[in-house]
Amino acid sequence: MGRPASKSDLLTAAAVNFEKLNQLISSLTETEQAAPFDFSNDEKKKERHWRRDKNLRDIYIHLYEWHQLLLRWTAANENGDPKPFIPRPYTWKTYGDMNTSFWKKHQDTPLEEARELFFKSHKEVLQLAESYSNEELFSKGVYKWAGTSTLGSYFVSTTSSHYDWAMKKLKAHRKNCKSLAAVSDN
C-alpha cells in the first residue's frame, strides 16, 4: 500500500501497521526484547536515531511523544492558539535535538508504562483522525496551520509511517541478536 491519501486509507494503514508492530514485538524472544540495541558495527546506520534508541522502551516513547506532538498541535490550533507542529525552540532542522530531549525525559520510564502510554496515545490519535472528514484531512488549504501539507499527512507521519520506522529498527535489532547468538554458539 502506498502512502495513504484518504481518511479510510489513513485509518487502515495506521491500524494495520500498529498490529504488525505489535506482532513483531511479540515475536521477539525475551532475550531480544531485553537486549540493548547496538548498531555501531553497521556503517549504513549513520542517522542519529540508530545511536539514540537503546531498547524497546525508547521505541515506544519515541512513538508516544510524536503522538503527543500531533495531539497538542491540533488541540492548540483548533482552539485558536496558533502553534507550529515542532514546538519551540526546535525546528524541522533541529528536531533531532527534540527527539533526544524526549529520550532523556523518559530514561526512568519503565517499559510497561511506555507500552501503555503508546497504546493509549495511538487510540487517541485514531479517535482524533476519525473526528475529521476526508476533505479536512486530505485537501490542502483547509487548515492554514497545516501549511503547505494536508492535516492527514501529519497523521500518516505520526502513525503508519512512524510504525514502519519502528519495525525497521526492531528487525535490525533482532538480526543483530541472532548474529550475536550465532557467534557465541561457535
Q: Domains of the chain by range and CATH?
A: 48-185 (1.20.120.450)
Contacts of range 127-130, beta carbons closer than 8 Å, 24 or more positions apart: 128/70, 128/71, 128/74, 128/155, 129/7, 129/10, 129/11, 129/14, 129/155, 130/11
The pLDDT assigned to 46 comes to 86
The pLDDT assigned to 186 comes to 47
Please state the pTM of the whole predicted model: 0.95
Q: How far apart are CA 19 and CA 85, in angstroms?
A: 26
Q: How far apart are CA 20 and CA 25, in angstroms?
A: 9
In tens digits, the chain (186 residues) has pLDDT values of 689 999 999 999 999 999 999 999 999 999 899 889 988 888 888 888 898 999 999 999 999 999 999 999 999 999 999 999 999 999 999 999 999 999 999 999 999 999 999 999 999 999 999 999 999 999 999 999 999 999 999 999 999 999 999 999 999 999 988 776 655 554
8 A C-beta contact, residue 13 and residue 160: yes
